[in-house]
Chain A
């Protein structure tokens, strides 16, 4: 059964000038960890705001827990947890006060649902009397997650929860999400980081308000249509220019230590030919290897 359903949702801003969400449809199953992956400005936050009843769609329907986001917004507000991309707890209240406050506005208490947030809250406990504005970025995220969970929501919406958080905290955060999933909470999370995509059960790749692909990360990778190669040499920037002007190469993008390329004619011959060309151009330490694509490769492929 699907917990979150979107049907042809359209949202425009500035009287139709800016199309933020363009005919988006997808479903999130009960107890699923679903990722919405896309660059900044792709329309992720607009989708979240529509699903959390903060924004009215121009057309299309959406439901959360079977409740319509427009008609039954009151029921949705009781049952979902939302963590906006921007830290939006009361900075002048302490950690404990924030948690208590959000528990009481949902007509519950911290003790009642403590088991749900316990694993996260123990890390915050030493700072419970500190004002939330004075916490570090990672701690703020954890507190925000606690506050979004304290009323035991059935669906959790996390809008870019790991943006601006260090690598260690990010990893911890995803561990927590896995733990929550085991409690049966449906989680919809958005992120601009492609490496986090593999941590979700299913992902939707979104670009300019349109969904490009929805599947499990493995499936999306499998659907990559060509063989992907990584190439490296001593002068990477010259190499990039050279590869891009080479007629043999179909696509070429810079990926950290390597450039990822695909060939026009995908065979051994063109690989050898490329190495030969590079050697003639006096590149040193040339390395060419076949690799399995990442989500980011798929994303870039779909974008073009």
Chain B
């Protein structure tokens, strides 16, 4: 125990003397939390639309003003040549073309029927899909308006209609940041655990100090614990800064659920991730090697964790990979507790899985760690 205390004191001294590591630990997470959630925004706004109007009627004017007033669309061009509008799409100045045919108003009134043409630039799939959907929605609302005005409402609705009203739970304003901030918090903690702990151990190998340590009576568990504990504490510290400083004061996110539950899960998760770092360090001899291996895992873990894309919509094989990823569970739990206020019984299963990860990763790492070669 006394030895462990001395080792820990040494580790902290070294961490606080490392001029390049310190800003990485304390400043980088805050900057990342400030930048990422604002930048990674899924809401599609400012779609450039070109309108080709062959009709120039009151109705076409009304439709155009509905489209531009929706807030989603930016009128890039208004004219009467489809060719010209297509040129704009080709030069990427416009994303959508809405073509209003000649006699739009006339046909609509006389024949109760008219067709509009919408062309979408589908290079950016999300933008195209959402843009098309928004536009279709605006047109159909407009269509309903006209119907109301022209048709006499029958006493009984001739056709049964289902009207859907939706209400958004846990994030009523569909604020994308509410979704992103807890996820990014989880990612930051993962980085500290997997990178810094592993690199620290490998550094001792690379510099050769581990040789000197290995011929001392320091026990394996003491050395490993002295490496894990500081980063475990730093991880919790960063998480707290992110949660109480940035998430609360910048984004106004106040955890709905129990903080105790959140921190106990986070502590457990840190043990698992530190185990990963430890495991990587046993496989590498230089910091460069450790960095490359960790980078490989972190990229996969990030992209397959449900941080950006929902894992439920992944193909089955990818879903299985995501389920083998500890980050997935942590992001899920952070979102559940912070946004939904889930209780222990809701995340029992997550706890169990994380205990498994922690035992597996640390056990494997300790088995693989040798004082003698």
Contact = CB atoms under 8 A, between A and B. Distances in A.
B264 interface: no
Given A74-B217, A93-B14, A106-B217, A101 B6 contact: yes
B218 A56 contact: no
Nearest to A105: B216
A91 interface: yes
Given A101-B10, A104-B3, A90 B215 contact: no
A54 B212 CA distance: 10
B65 interface: no
A106 B216 contact: yes
Contacts of A86: 208, 211
A52 B17 contact: no
Contact of B214 (A54, A87, A89, A107): A54
A88 B212 contact: yes
A54 B213 CA distance: 11
Interface in B287-323: none
Interface in A201-222: none
- Tell me what chain A mostly uses at the interface: helix, strand, loop, or mixed: loop
B3 A82 contact: no
Nearest to A52: B215
Given A54-B211, A55-B373, A105-B218, A90 B6 contact: no
B18 A92 contact: yes
Contacts of A89: 209, 212
Contacts of A107: 2-3, 217
Given A78-B217, A105-B3, A105-B7, A88 B207 contact: yes
Interface in B193-230: 207-218
Contacts of B215: 52-54, 77, 80, 82
Contact of A97 (B13, B217, B218): B13
Nearest to A82: B215
A173 interface: no
- Determine the main DSSP class of B at the interface with A: helix
A149 to B, nearest CB: 13
B6 to A, nearest CB: 4
A293 interface: no
A52 B215 CA distance: 7
A102 B216 CA distance: 8
A73 B211 contact: no
Nearest to B18: A92
Contact of A88 (B6, B7, B209, B371): B209
A77 B14 contact: no
Interface residues of A, number: 28
Contact of B207 (A73, A91, A102, A104): A91
B372 A77 contact: no
A192 interface: no
Contact of B211 (A80, A88, A91): A88
Contacts of A93: 10, 13-14
B103 to A, nearest CB: 81
A54 B208 contact: no
Between A88, A93, A97, A107, the greatest number of chain B beta carbons within 10 A of the residue's beta carbon is seen for A88
A56 B209 contact: no
A120 B118 CA distance: 87
A105 B14 contact: no
A53 B17 CA distance: 32
A147 interface: yes
A56 B370 CA distance: 12
Given A53-B215, A54-B214, A104-B3, A90 B372 contact: no
A137 interface: no
B363 to A, nearest CB: 23
10 contacts: A54-B214, A54-B371, A55-B372, A55-B373, A77-B217, A80-B215, A82-B212, A88-B208, A89-B209, A90-B14
Nearest 4 interchain pairs by C-beta: A88-B208, A104-B6, A82-B215, A88-B212
Interface of A: 52-56, 73-74, 77-78, 80, 82, 84, 86-93, 97, 101-102, 104-107, 147
